Amino acid sequence: MATMKNAGALAATVVAALAWGGCASMAELRKLQREQKETRVQLADTTVAVDSLRRQVEQLRTQLEESGARGGRRNAGSTDLERRLAALEARLASIDGGSVGMPPAIGGTEPMIAAPPARGTEAAQIALRADAALLVTAPEAYRLGVELYKQGQWDRAVAKLREFVRAGKSDLSDNAQYWIGECYFNQGDYSRAIIEFNEVLVKYPQGDRIPTTLLALATAFANSPDPDGKKDARLILQKLINEYGTSEEARIGRVKLDALVE
């Protein structure tokens, strides 16, 4: 089974090539498309595996609670269940970054859970300012997704933003995809953030969020554990500066690029 780390590493290669390639041949482009498809399959496999492990963990927890309720004290059966539960939780943590709780569902009357405010990349602040006016007339799903992001409800924000993207074409689809990347960045899942930011570049190359995405993508690469991450970040920042030199993102990018070169 492919791990998220492996999928992220493959995606990093795809993103880097897209970011600075410029004049790739058709054969190279087809190769990149195949690799990106393989990345999505790997991510899907990982998601299925994590969901299965979550269900097993919840089942064992339920059995353990029922065993304790019937027996009133620890016994050999409950000890065995505890060992199995610990092993499954450790396995899940190694794949899922340590989180074994199911995210709360969107909608209904469930109250918001207190969470740290959104931080994100430097690009996120630019995007929030750009969205301030848009949110007045934006569709409800998009407004809620951005609000959940600002409240630090990362999983819920991703669910709502994906719902918006899948609903059909919209002038805000690239914005929604961008915020999905920021959600993963805030969770420290830089490999997944790279993949999601890359989707903006691939699906919405003419969108107005490209310079913001390039800055965010470079930041994700710079923070990733990949030994080539900083090199990739420098290349993407150079692309940002070359193609969007008068933008606020490029101004920030120059500062970041100088810091990465030192």
Tell which phi-psi region holds residue 63, choosing left (phi > 0), alpha (psi between -120 and 50) or beta: alpha
User: Between 198 and 118, whose confidence is greater?
Assistant: 198
Question: 258 pLDDT exceeds 90?
Answer: yes
Radius of gyration of the chain (CA): 21
Q: Which of 121, 93, 99, 90 is closest to 224 using CA atoms?
A: 121
What are the structural domain ranges in the chain? 4-96, 122-261
Tens of pLDDT, residues 198-246 = 999 999 999 999 999 999 999 999 999 988 999 999 999 999 999 999 9
Tens of pLDDT, residues 74-87 = 555 556 667 666 76
Which pLDDT value is given to residue 120?
Answer: 84
Q: Which fold does the domain 122-261 belong to in CATH?
A: 1.25.40
Tens of pLDDT, residues 163-190 = 999 998 789 999 999 999 999 999 999 9
- The DSSP result for 133-178, as a single string, is HHTTTS-HHHHHHHHHHHTT-HHHHHHHHHHHHHT---TTHHHHHH
